[in-house]
Amino acid sequence: MATTLKLPPELKERISKVIEGTGQTAHAFMIDAIRAQTANAEKHREFTTAALAARKEFARTGAAYAMEDIHPYIRLRAAGKRTTKPKPRRWRA
C-alpha cells in the first residue's frame, strides 16, 4: 500500500528544522509521528470504551468507590505498602 502525504510548505520547513543534525530522514520522522499518534488514538479509544462500560455498570449496580477510601489506598500502594482494598459503596437512593 503506497500512501502519499501532501504537506504544506510551512510544515515541511518545520520538519526539516526539527530533524536537522539528528541523522533522521523526514520520512522516518513522519513514520514515527504517525506511529505515536496512532498509539495515542488507540489508547484514547480504549480509555473511552472502558469509561463507558464503567458508567453502564454503575448505572446497573449503583456500586462505586468513595474518593476518601481510594486516595489513602492509592497512596499506600504507591509507597509500596500493603493494604486492604476499599469496599465499593451503594450510591442509589
Instruction: Check pLDDT > 50 for residue 93.
Output: no
Q: How many domains does the chain have?
A: 2
Q: Mean per-residue pLDDT for 59-75?
A: 95
Q: Structural domain of residue 68, as residue ranges?
A: 63-93
In a domain, 1, yes or no: no
Are residue 56 and residue 68 in the same domain, yes or no?
no
Percent of the chain residues past pLDDT 70, beyond the cut:
98
- Indicate yes or no: pTM above 0.75: no
In a domain, 7, yes or no: no
Percent of the chain residues past pLDDT 90, beyond the cut:
91
Are residue 67 and residue 57 in the same domain, yes or no?
no
Helix (H) or strand (E) holding 46: helix 26-61
Are residue 68 and residue 91 in the same domain, yes or no?
yes
Instruction: Check pLDDT > 50 for residue 91.
Output: yes
Q: How far apart are CA 16 and CA 34, in angstroms?
A: 17
Q: Under 8 Å CB-to-CB from 26, ≥6 apart: which residues?
A: 12, 15, 16, 19
* pLDDT classification of 78: cutoffs 50, 70, 90: very high
Q: How far apart are CA 78 and CA 73, in angstroms?
A: 9
